Amino acid sequence: MATEQMDGGRALIRALENEGVEVMFGLPGGAILPVYDPIIDSSIRHVLVRHEQGAGHMAEGYAHATGRPGVAMVTSGPAATNIVTPLCDAYMDSVPIVVITGQVPTGAIGTDAFQECDTTGITQSITKHNFLVTEAQDIPRTIKEAFHIATTGRPGPVLVDIPKDIVDPLNPRSAMTWTDDVTIDLPGYNPQTEIDPEVIRAAAELIRASERPVLYVGGGILKARAADALLELAELTGISVVTTLMARGAFPDSHDLCLGMPGMHGNFTAVTAMQESDLLIALGARFDDRVTGRLDGFAPGAKIIHAEIDPAEIGKVRQPDVAILGDVRVAIEALVAELATNGTGDVDRDAWRSKLSGWQERFPLAYEPWVPGDPLKPQYVIECLRDGTPDDTIVTSGVGQHQMWASQYWKFDYPYTWINSGGLGTMGFSIPAAIGAKVAFPDRMVWAVDGDGCFQMTAQELVTATVENIPIKVALLNNSHLGMVRQWQEMFYEERY
């Protein structure tokens, strides 16, 4: 077994290289500076951001677009607190990112040292896991464990807090012995990915008996890279599909079985189909309040099949009749195999299909046509952008009215092309996320659709894009308001603003 003597900073960079990291987004500072020096000799590209929040959202955009973990690295104290929002955003939307933060030397922890904060304490509830590494020898194993946790089971953010003394080559505490046979040690962490065949058979029986089924598709489909399997299931069964805000693109909008987006900002057909269904097949969805509305009135006549990798989501909001615990792609493939082998049933669903088609014809997404000379309508802008871009264009958005217009009026026929902040609803997400996606796919067009409120929160990252030669495109829908906030004030607060 080959060994090599090195300091903790070099070991950290080598551990990242061994995980296949090609790019990281970050901003140096005192506590993390010893790790920055070995980056000069590394194959890893470093994108220098203007604010640590930008680094986190760029890592998210990279992870959304590629399915691989995004990496951000910042220093201690205010830098660590600045990246809390992206960590929480990634936690809510199940985005695999690994964030490395600097920390004061181990001997100074707890003394209120300069730029000290309890980073692991602050982030405990908004990360899938976090680590405070106190020995240089533990760095390679910790990095390996961080990537394993971030990318297995339900994906999510992992934070690694690194005290300065264990990475500083001038400090004896940073000395360590590198070995290539690093193994992880995570007792109790064993996400279930295999599917119980009996559960699949029970789900198939419900599908065969259903007269008004709907495939309720959430962002977990994209996290599992299961779009192809979903298409196969829908076409095999002829069941119509609704795609939530986080799942746009998981099923082609141009497909006859696509009903569009449900929920508070969804279209009539998608919302009503869920309400009147007798079977909701929830795939990688978590029954979010923006989809369900009042729970006591949500899909009252529907039985529930819930395929989900996180056992904490099963029954959290709506108790399923059949719970499929495991990887949703594996679950769909098992359902396809069962239904293809033993049949999809002989229930007549013509009346249901006719009703769905009737709703689509009577209640399409529509807006008053734009008249030349009038202010541009945002819906028209989105449609023009979509018509003038390649089919594989990646679109990011901020949060607010422009986010909903983009999700509704941009027709998504390719998966992994829509990136937004769903659970946390983070204004300022769009531009840095677009930068992260463009770094991942430099040859594809990337549009950031932003509102004027969101734009002002992270506009400084356009400097990052310029300096780093990352040519994203920005569509700024400027109504001189926080549009959705103003809309709510008009609707519920007697226009008092």
In a domain, 84, yes or no: yes
What is the DSSP secondary structure assignment for residue 179, as one 8-state letter?
E
pLDDT confidence of residue 253: 97
In a domain, 393, yes or no: yes
Instruction: Check whether residue 255 and residue 314 sit in a common domain.
Output: yes
Assigned token pair, 124: 């405990």
Give, rounded to a whole angstrom, the gap between the first and last alpha carbons of the chain. 69
pLDDT confidence of residue 1: 63
d(C-alpha 17, C-alpha 10), whole Å = 11
**Catalytic-role residue among 115, 137, 379, 460:** 115
Using left for φ > 0, alpha for ψ between -120 and 50, and beta otherwise, residue 407 falls in alpha
- The model's pTM is 0.96
In a domain, 47, yes or no: yes
Instruction: Check whether residue 231 and residue 132 sit in a common domain.
Output: no
In whole angstroms, how far apart are CA 225 and each of 44, 200, 296, 311?
25, 20, 33, 19
**Catalytic-role residue among 128, 144, 164, 223:** 164
**Among candidate residues 296, 184, 286, the one with its CA nearest the CA of residue 245:** 286
d(C-alpha 414, C-alpha 222), whole Å = 11
Assigned token pair, 254: 């141009």
**Among candidate residues 409, 384, 381, 406, the one with its CA nearest the CA of residue 396:** 406
Catalytic residue list contains 114: yes
- Of 317, 335, 362, the residue at which a domain comes to its end is 362
Instruction: Check whether residue 344 and residue 266 sit in a common domain.
Output: yes
The boundaries of the domain holding residue 130 are 3-179
In a domain, 229, yes or no: yes
- Of 362, 390, 416, the residue at which a domain comes to its end is 362
Q: What is the CATH number of the domain that holds 215?
A: 3.40.50.1220
Query: In Å, how far from its chain's centre is CA 285?
Result: 13
| H helix and E strand count, the chain | 20, 18
Residues 6+ apart with CB under 8 A from 225: 67, 329
- Residue recorded with tokens 């904060």: 117
Residues 6+ apart with CB under 8 A from 482: 400, 451, 453
d(C-alpha 34, C-alpha 22), whole Å = 20
Query: In Å, how far from its chain's centre is CA 47?
Result: 21
Instruction: Check whether residue 26 and residue 134 sit in a common domain.
Output: yes
Catalytic residue list contains 164: yes
- Of 362, 389, 409, the residue at which a domain comes to its end is 362
**Catalytic-role residue among 4, 17, 114, 124:** 114
Provide DSSP, 29-76: -GGGHHHHGGGGGSS-EEEE-SSHHHHHHHHHHHHHHHSSPEEEEE-S
Catalytic residue list contains 484: yes
Instruction: Check whether residue 349 and residue 274 sit in a common domain.
Output: yes
d(C-alpha 32, C-alpha 235), whole Å = 52
d(C-alpha 62, C-alpha 10), whole Å = 24
State how many domains the chain has: 3
**Catalytic-role residue among 24, 176, 427, 484:** 484
Give the three-class secondary structure for 250.
coil
Residues in the chain with pLDDT < 70? 1
Instruction: Check whether residue 383 and residue 352 sit in a common domain.
Output: no
**Catalytic-role residue among 6, 19, 24, 52:** 52
